[in-house]
Amino acid sequence: MFGLVHGDPRNPLTPDIIAAMADDLGLFFVGGLTSSRGEHPQIADRIVEGGLSGVLFAGGVAVAAGLTQGCSPIGPMHRITEADDNIIETIDERPALDVFKEDIGELLARDLRKIGGYIYAALPVAGSDTGDYLVRNLTGIDPNKGWLAIGAQVETGDRIMFTRRDRQGAEQDLKRMLDDLARRAAGQPIKGGVYCTCVARGPNLFGDDSEELKAIRATLGDFPLVGFFANGEICNNRLYGYTGVLALFL
């Protein structure tokens, strides 16, 4: 079964709720975390907040879904060799900050103030055959100890890489996703679609001319499409960041 859902970004258990519901009930989710400058209301028969809400569709409803990343890898895959909660102490048995500086290059390494909103950590999805990864914010740097803090819990042995947010890479991956969905929907009329895209995309990445929507129309044609800007995107059983998630009803 397929579910279109909204989650509360203030609840630290939201990623666990998404994963547990999807895995236990055999659901495939698309959706996102609500984004707001004020309250975060959701509707599930009544006004609610704090958890996961949405609508489930019967198994006979045909859906094709795709995910496009907004950040591109800039270095090789690494292994976290010492960590505590969300703090990464060593990578590949070296100070985490030293490895980070090598990956981002000398220019940025000279002035780490320039990495904000541009460089992110990424945690590869175990068992993925498509190179899937979860982008997470860098939340702190300790230059004296050589430690990094990111917006996710990590453990010794986890894999990590670093990514760059740029328009060209995001456009290329958007085209990849749309071409894949076009192949999967070949010969079937698209009845409608839902597009959930990160608040950091849209005009904040592509400009003010609705470039994402124009790309969708150019590849898949003109069909009813709704969506929203999310504070984190949901695809299958995972919570992503800086991505776009498109679901097509066939």
Write out the residue limits of the CATH 2.40.30 domain(s) in the chain.
71-165
Tokens of 233: 């995107």
pTM of the model: 0.88
Nearest CA among 213, 176, 214 for reference residue 196: 213
Q: Looking at this protein, which amino acid is placed at residue 19? A: A
Main-chain phi, psi angles of 221, to 5 degrees: 95, -175
Exposed (0-12), middle (13-18) or buried (19+): which is 11, by Cβ within 10 Å? middle
What string of pLDDT tens digits covers the 250 residues of the chain?
899 999 999 998 999 999 999 999 899 999 999 998 888 888 888 998 888 999 999 888 999 999 999 999 998 999 999 999 999 999 999 999 999 999 999 999 999 999 998 999 999 998 777 789 999 999 999 999 999 999 999 999 999 999 999 899 999 999 999 999 999 998 889 999 999 999 999 998 999 999 999 999 999 999 999 999 999 999 999 999 999 999 999 9
Looking at residue 48, what is its pLDDT? 87
Whole-angstrom distance, CA of residue 142 vs CA of residue 148: 6
- Among the CATH numbers 1.20.1050, 2.60.40, 2.40.30, 1.10.540, which is that of 71-165? 2.40.30
pLDDT of residue 44: 85
Residue 179 is predicted with a pLDDT of 96
Q: Which two tokens stand for residue 89?
A: 């102490």
Both tokens of residue 36? 């707001």
Task: Give the residues across from 137 on adjacent strands.
Answer: none
User: Which pLDDT does position 41 carry in this prediction?
Assistant: 87
> Which amino acid is located at 58 in the chain?
A
DSSP string, 111-157: -GGGGTTTEEEEEEPTT-SS--EEEE-EEEEETTTTEEEESS---TT
- Contact, 201 vs 174, CB < 8 A? no
Q: C-alpha distances in angstroms, 215 versus 44, 66, 69, 138?
A: 32, 14, 15, 30
CB 79 within 8 A of CB 92: yes
CA–CA separation, 239 and 196 (whole Å): 12
